[in-house]
Every structure is written in C-alpha cells, then in structure tokens.
Structure 1
Amino acid sequence: MTPSWASSGLPLFIFLFFVVFHRAQLTYWLGRGAAKGALASAGKNGLRGKIAAWFEGPVPRYGARLLEQWGIVIIPLCFLTVGVQTAVNAGAGVVRMSWKKYTLAMIPGCIAWSIMYGLGMLAVWMAVVRAAAGSVWAWLGLLAVAAVVATLVLVKRRRGRGSEQSLEHG
C-alpha cells in the first residue's frame, strides 16, 4: 500500500524507486549470502537447510543461466517482467557478480519499474500480452521477431567461433 504522501507524481515515483531498489538489493544480497551459506548448510535440517535448498533450486539457477546467456543486459530487462526479477537478482548474487556492476545495471531497471507501476503501465503491458496471446497475427509477429533474434545470435556465435579458430591456427 502506498503512503498518502506518495499518491501521485514525483513522490510516488521516488517511493516506488525506493521500494524496488531495496527489494532488488535484498534479493541480490540474499543470493550472495546463500551462495556462501548454501555450501555450509547443504543437507542440514531446519530453516538453514530449507534456505540452502531454495538457493540451490531452480529459481536462482534459472537467474544465473539467464545472466550467463544474456549477460548484464538481462538485469535491467528483468524489471520489465513479472516473475523473472527474483530469479535474476538472486542469480546475480549467487554467481557473486560485483556489487558495483550489479547496482549500476539494476538502476535503469528500477527506474523503468517505478515508471511502469507509477503510471499503471504494468497493467497495460500485461493486458497487451494477454491480448496478443489470443491473436494469431500477434503470435506470428512474435515468432518473426524471435526468428530475427535467433538468427542474429547464431550469426554472432559463428563469427565468434571463427575468430577463435583463426587465433588458434594463426
């Protein structure tokens, strides 16, 4: 619930930024601490064992995989999604990304999140996604975009492998 002094405008944006910034930082530090503590607590019973098991589980691993696959750009982008933020922020902590690098990457995402929530844009965004889900043309458009992105990624990887091989043989 938003406090009355932050009901609209700049105070609302500042409040939302404060909330998302601290939530993301907390998730990052929990992931970072869990990376260390999970090794010591793995296999134990009780709360420590359950926490260690969660951080060894699919959510932080998914976030770490996204970071590995997409690089640092996934951090600000995750704030535009529902359900991926926790995985990516915890994953950044689990892989022990430097705090400075993580924080600099997350600030644009926090700004975008604050704007989206402050303007009610998240509801609009989710309505667009739901509408697109029922449209054949929207799915075809998304498929075309995915094909272009996949092609670009494959071309980039092949060029990277070609330059690695030429360095090895050169």
Structure 2
Amino acid sequence: MSEFFSTGPFLLVYLALLVIVFCRAQATYWIGYYVTTRLTKNVPETGWRRRFYTWSEQDSVKAGIDTIHRRGWIIIPLSFLTIGFQSIIQFAAGLIRFSPPRYTAAMLPGCMAWALIYSTIGFSVWGALIAAFAGSPYGIALLLLLVLIIVLGLRWRRRAQGRLIHE
C-alpha cells in the first residue's frame, strides 16, 4: 500500500488521501458530537465511552475549543496544516456542536490542502527527514535537541499562561 502512495498516479493518490482524511476528520468530529450530546448527561464509568469522555476533559481539547471560539470557523481548515492540533480541533468542533453542514463546508478546503500536501511533497519530506536523521549520529542528536526545545517551549508557555490566569 505504501508503494501506491509513493509511486501511484497523482490523481488516484490525491483522491485516496482525500477520502481518508475526509473520513478521519468526520469520524473525529462525530465522536466529539456524540460525547457532548450523550456522554455529558450520563458519564460512563469504564470502557471506550469513558476514554472519549476523559479525552474531552483534557486541557489540550479545552484549548482547542477556546481557539475555535476566538478564531472562528477558519481554524478548522487551517488545522489540517498542523500535526497533532488537527485532531483536537476536529474533536473540539464536535464538542461545541458546530453545525454539521457548516463543519463539513469548513473542513473541505483543509482536507483538500492536506491531501495535496501529502500526495506531492508530504511523504517524500517525511521519508527524507527520517532517513537523514536515522543514518547520522549528528542527525539523531539534532532531532533530540529539537524535541527538547519543543518540550521546554511548551512547558514555558503553560507556566506563562498559568501566571496570567492567577494575576
């Protein structure tokens, strides 16, 4: 299957990726919608429903909800240009019961952009980065340094936000 995405005809690769990201985004949105319409009234004790409910209570998801409220619908298609934040925004859109037709209209440009990126340069760039970092001790050190910088930056940001809230 991975050979298809790297050597297949562009149009078929693009359409396959478009269908994949569309279904994934819709599923994430509808899980959020389900959590807010069904599980907030009757919080489950265990199982998969409890895991989704617990996810809905995380700080990252609350930050996603705040971002949608602050920035509006435009954050939905823009989230497809990120890694990690995309799922949070799709889930958060469901949690706030963003209108399903408006959500679908807002996510389509993001899905198209995501599929275009990954059908052209996306997989090539990831493959090249992994090969470069994995084959070189300097690359591995640089990768670890980047991860450390990101983790420290996120911690600093959370602390700064915590100080703003308490002031």
Q: TM-score, normalised by structure 1?
A: 0.66
The amino acid that maps onto 1:106 is: M
- Correspondence 1:51 to 2:52: yes
After superposition, give the CA deviation of every residue in 1:80-105 in whole Å (9 maximum; x if it has no partner).
Answer: 00011111000000000001111001
Q: CA offset at residue 39 of structure 1?
A: 1.2
Between the two proteins, the alignment pairs up a number of residues equal to 131
- Correspondence 1:61 to 2:59: no
Could you say if the C-alpha distance between residues 121 and 50 of structure 1 is closer, same or farther in structure 2, counting changes exceeding 3 Å? closer
Structure possessing the higher radius of gyration over alpha carbons: 1
Could you say if the C-alpha distance between residues 47 and 22 of structure 1 is closer, same or farther in structure 2, counting changes exceeding 3 Å? closer
Maintained 8 Å contact 2:4/2:13 = no
- 1:7 alignment counterpart: 8
**Percent of paired sites with the same residue:** 33
- 1:138 alignment counterpart: none
- 1:71 alignment counterpart: 72
Larger relative CO (CA 8 A, sep 6+): 1 or 2? 2
Unaligned runs of at least 5 residues, structure 2: 130-141, 147-167
Unaligned runs of at least 5 residues, structure 1: 135-170
Distance (whole Å) between structure 2 residues aligned to residue 70 and residue 109 of structure 1: 16
Q: CA offset at residue 59 of structure 1?
A: 3.4
Distance (whole Å) between structure 2 residues aligned to residue 122 and residue 68 of structure 1: 32
Could you say if the C-alpha distance between residues 70 and 122 of structure 1 is closer, same or farther in structure 2, counting changes exceeding 3 Å? farther
Maintained 8 Å contact 1:76/1:110 = yes
Distance (whole Å) between structure 1 residues aligned to residue 9 and residue 60 of structure 2: 34
- Correspondence 1:31 to 2:38: no
Q: Secondary structure at the match of 1:72?
A: coil
Q: CA offset at residue 41 of structure 1?
A: 3.6
Q: CA offset at residue 62 of structure 1?
A: 2.1
The amino acid that maps onto 2:80 is: F
